[in-house]
Amino acid sequence: MSKLSGQVAIVTGAGRGIGGAAARKLASEGASVVAVDLDLQALEGNMATIRDAGGEVVGLSADVAAKDFGEVAVARALEEFGALDIIVNNAGYIWNTTIQNTTDEQWQAMLDVHATGPFRLLRAALPHFREAVRRDEQEGICRHRKVVNVSSVSGTSGSATQVAYSAAKAAVVGLTKTLAKEWGRYRVNVNCVAFGYIGTRLTQGWEGEPPTIEVHGRDHKVGFPKQLAEQIEVGIPLGRRGTPEEAAGAIYLFCIPESDFVSGEVLVCGGGVR
């Protein structure tokens, strides 16, 4: 039997990249997945891949920064699958500048998507987690549920030109450690994965004009100049950037029964970079 058979997971940012790989990984291990992404086309493509591989998935095209997102996502999981066992808070994007060029809008946007969105989702999930553990105790079952929040080495160590992003990702660490203390009584393990250089569209190397992604009608530059990307890889002890599948593996470690006595931890997945 697969390690996550019978469990239900919400994965945000599940259309592509790390979140897409995490949704595929959890589904391949038996979880029923609510895949969330703002980009409907990317979301549908990844869900098709999951279904073709025999996985069970439903989609939710939503903005994790919306005020009602938490309630909507939890309701979708309960309506579709009748349970909620795993939450992976992964959705996000970058909007980089130095502090003197960071606007209030930019600062708030990074906090909203990387910190407030996960906070609202977890707040909305609490009544379900609380009731679920009561039912487990009445039935004599000891079952752990899992939260995996996604941070970055920018949040744990800082990064030039990423003041808003780094602050938001640092907030994710504080959220993780606090809820690990608050939610232990509900048998909910709350952990965090801080990623280093993982090969996604946000970190791609480029020549010429920088690529952009569109979020809420605004184009955001992503990636690094090719020469800088190569220099970053040289500085990684393992000598290369990670893949989305390897990143998903780190998330998966916090979802399986073997991590039932691990909570409040920050795992750096960076090839040796701290």
CATH of the domain at 175: 3.40.50.720
pTM, two decimal places: 0.95
Query: Is position 60 within any domain?
Result: yes
User: What pLDDT does 205 receive?
Assistant: 81
Active site residues: 165
User: What pLDDT does 213 receive?
Assistant: 82
Query: Is position 105 within any domain?
Result: yes
Segments forming the whole domain that contains residue 89? 8-199+243-269
Count of domains observed in the chain: 1
Query: Is position 208 within any domain?
Result: no
**Is residue 137 helix, strand or coil?**
helix
Phi and psi torsions of 247, nearest 5°: -65, -45
- The set of residues, in sequence order, having a beta carbon less than 8 Å from that of 21 and lying 6+ positions away, is 243, 244, 245, 247, 248
Query: Is position 94 within any domain?
Result: yes
User: What pLDDT does 255 receive?
Assistant: 98
Composition of the chain by helix, strand, coil, percent to 5: 45, 20, 35
User: Could you tell me the mean pLDDT of each successive run of 10 residues in the chain, 274 residues long?
Assistant: 94 98 98 97 98 98 97 98 98 94 96 98 98 97 97 95 96 98 98 96 82 85 82 92 97 98 98 91
User: What pLDDT does 222 receive?
Assistant: 85
Query: Is position 236 within any domain?
Result: no
User: What pLDDT does 208 receive?
Assistant: 80
Query: Is position 230 within any domain?
Result: no
Query: Is position 227 within any domain?
Result: no
User: What pLDDT does 271 receive?
Assistant: 97
Tell me the torsion sign for CA atoms 132, 267, 215, 160: positive
Query: Is position 249 within any domain?
Result: yes
